[in-house]
Amino acid sequence: MSFHAFFSDRLKSFLLAIALLTVCVMFIPGKSLYAITPPEIRNKSDLKISQDMHGMDLKGREFVKVDLRGVDLSSADLRGAVFNNSQLQGADLQGADLEDVVAFASIFDDADLRETNFVNSLLMESTFSNSIIDGADFSNAVLNKAEQKRLCAGAKGTNTLTQVNTSESLGC
């Protein structure tokens, strides 16, 4: 038997086994199958983005590839929200609660982050150039080392709610 014939027979057997397994799973009583909604369209139908979102309850919302430049999110409750590849340049997040947020590759450049709570947030690949971080709390937040050093250069103040010094929360 040639290598090609052997491999072809093995591939056919494997594909047949997968097809049979799929059919068996589909017809198991009591089991439901669900389609997964892509993150780009989750939560968008019931949330209207406006320039004034001050103080809104946005816990657990997903902002994936969303343009939030210049949006007022001050004092908003954003605990557990997701900001992946979102643009927040010049956004006002003063006093917002972003505890446990995931913000991968999001842009917070020129944002007002005074008194913002970033405790336990994952902020990998996100940038904060020229952001105002006076009194922000980054305790246990995960940042790129280079971004952490840049933030340390402008870190000052103490968060009035958590009583944590911004420099200390960044590990400066």
CATH code assigned at 45:
2.160.20.80
17 shares its domain with 45: no
30 shares its domain with 79: no
CA–CA distance, 152 with 24 (Å, rounded to integer):
57
pLDDT confidence of residue 17: 60
* Chain centroid offset of residue 47 CA: 17
Q: CA torsion sign, 116 to 142 to 170 to 70?
A: negative
21 shares its domain with 55: no
62 shares its domain with 100: yes
pLDDT confidence of residue 48: 86
**What is the tally of structural domains in the chain?**
2
pLDDT confidence of residue 75: 98
pLDDT confidence of residue 137: 98
45 shares its domain with 29: no
172 shares its domain with 111: yes
CA–CA distance, 130 with 40 (Å, rounded to integer):
28
Residue 61, both tokens = 């919302």
Say if residue 25's pLDDT is above 50: yes
Say if residue 3's pLDDT is above 90: no
pLDDT confidence of residue 123: 97
82 shares its domain with 163: yes
Residue 44, both tokens = 């968008």
The fraction of the chain above a pLDDT of 90, given in percent, is 70
15 shares its domain with 83: no
* Chain centroid offset of residue 120 CA: 12
Average confidence score pLDDT of the chain? 85
Say if residue 100's pLDDT is above 70: yes
22 shares its domain with 79: no
Provide the pLDDT confidence category of residue 72 given band limits of 50, 70 and 90. Answer: very high
123 shares its domain with 59: yes
pLDDT confidence of residue 13: 67
Paired with 7 in beta bridges are: none
43 shares its domain with 76: yes
29 shares its domain with 97: no
CA–CA distance, 156 with 133 (Å, rounded to integer):
7
Average pLDDT over residues 159-163: 96
* Structural domain of 27: 1-34
